[in-house]
């Protein structure tokens, strides 16, 4: 598939204050794209904007807010004249046993990851239709395989994968391409925050190779950038994730069997697992909502 030059293109990145979103914005800017940074952390977003190589501006907004995101889409178009690329990257995570989970945190994962992605698409698709642009929805290994202690995150990422695949069929004839980006455990604040919990860290380490490793952020984002340049339908931040697609039908049974054994092993320690949002991004989300 041929590459599209990013020089002069306008890219919107949600969740751009840290992690995947922040580095993606930097790498897209280094290739000549103008960047609209969207997120909940105004100070971090301004710092990111100040470090970019091209024109950039930040919008402090909650991606679950329909009215605010529609306004942002209009303002981005007014500021830059068009929108060519939108990366729906904003996300939060929580862990722990579902029965003991914090219902507010569980719901918030669904709201940000799934509803927020849909709100982002609804806001920006009209301008992407004008430019015949590209929407990349960030999903996860969690969309391909279930995992115990991650019910909200797996549900949200399975949801955004299905949503994006459905959307691709709807908007393709209008010139808009839709991609799904898959990442395994990648070295971000979210993963480091989850690893602060001993049980969650040990449970992950007992996953089969290569899904038990944490992968460096830089190469993962390089692969995402390459997918954006190709307007790819599927973007794999780690090479082996592509191969998971062929066996995903078998994974629920395997995880169901192995997971039961591991949960029995960890049961005496499950009461210590934190059930709130994890990492610095999770803390920022809670602070923005006054929790």
As annotated, the active-site residues are 153
Cα 207 to Cα 42, 98, 236, 258, distances in angstroms: 37, 19, 19, 9
Q: Decide if 37 contacts 62 (C-beta within 8 A).
A: no
CA distance 91 to 117: 9
Taking every pair of Cα atoms in the chain, the longest distance, rounded to a whole number of angstroms, is 58
CA distance 263 to 214: 22
CA distance 175 to 129: 7
**What are the DSSP calls for 30-97, one per residue?**
HTT-EEEEEES-HHHHHHHHHH-SS-EEEEE--TT-HHHHHHHHHHHHHHHS---EEEE-----B-S-
């Amino acid at each position: 598939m041929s590459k599209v030059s990013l020089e002069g293109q306008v890219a919107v990145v949600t969740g751009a204050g840290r992690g995947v979103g922040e580095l993606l914005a930097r790498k897209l800017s280094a290739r000549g794209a103008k960047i609209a940074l969207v997120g909940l952390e105004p100070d971090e977003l301004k710092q990111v904007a100040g470090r970019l190589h091209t024109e950039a501006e930040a919008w402090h907004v909650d991606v679950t807010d329909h009215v605010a995101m529609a306004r942002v889409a209009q303002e981005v178009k007014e500021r830059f004249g068009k929108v060519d690329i939108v990366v729906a990257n904003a996300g939060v995570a929580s862990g722990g046993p579902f029965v003991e989970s914090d219902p507010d945190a569980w719901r918030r994962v669904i709201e940000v990851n799934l509803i927020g992605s849909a709100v982002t698409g609804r806001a920006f698709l009209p301008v992407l239709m004008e430019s015949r642009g590209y929407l990349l929805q960030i999903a996860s290994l969690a969309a391909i395989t279930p995992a115990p202690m991650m019910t909200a995150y797996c549900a949200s990422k399975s949801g955004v994968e299905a949503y994006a695949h459905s959307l691709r069929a709807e908007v393709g004839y209008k010139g808009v391409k839709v991609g799904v980006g898959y990442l395994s455990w990648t070295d971000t604040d979210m993963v480091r925050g989850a690893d602060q919990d001993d049980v969650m860290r040990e449970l992950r380490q007992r996953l089969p190779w290569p899904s038990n490793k944490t992968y460096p952020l830089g190469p993962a984002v390089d692969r995402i950038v390459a997918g954006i340049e190709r307007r790819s339908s599927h973007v794999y931040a780690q090479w082996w994730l592509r191969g998971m697609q062929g066996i995903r039908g078998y994974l629920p049974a395997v995880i169901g069997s192995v997971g039961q054994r591991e949960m029995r092993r960890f049961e005496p320690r499950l009461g210590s697992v934190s059930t709130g949002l994890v990492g610095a991004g999770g803390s920022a989300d809670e602070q923005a909502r006054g929790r």
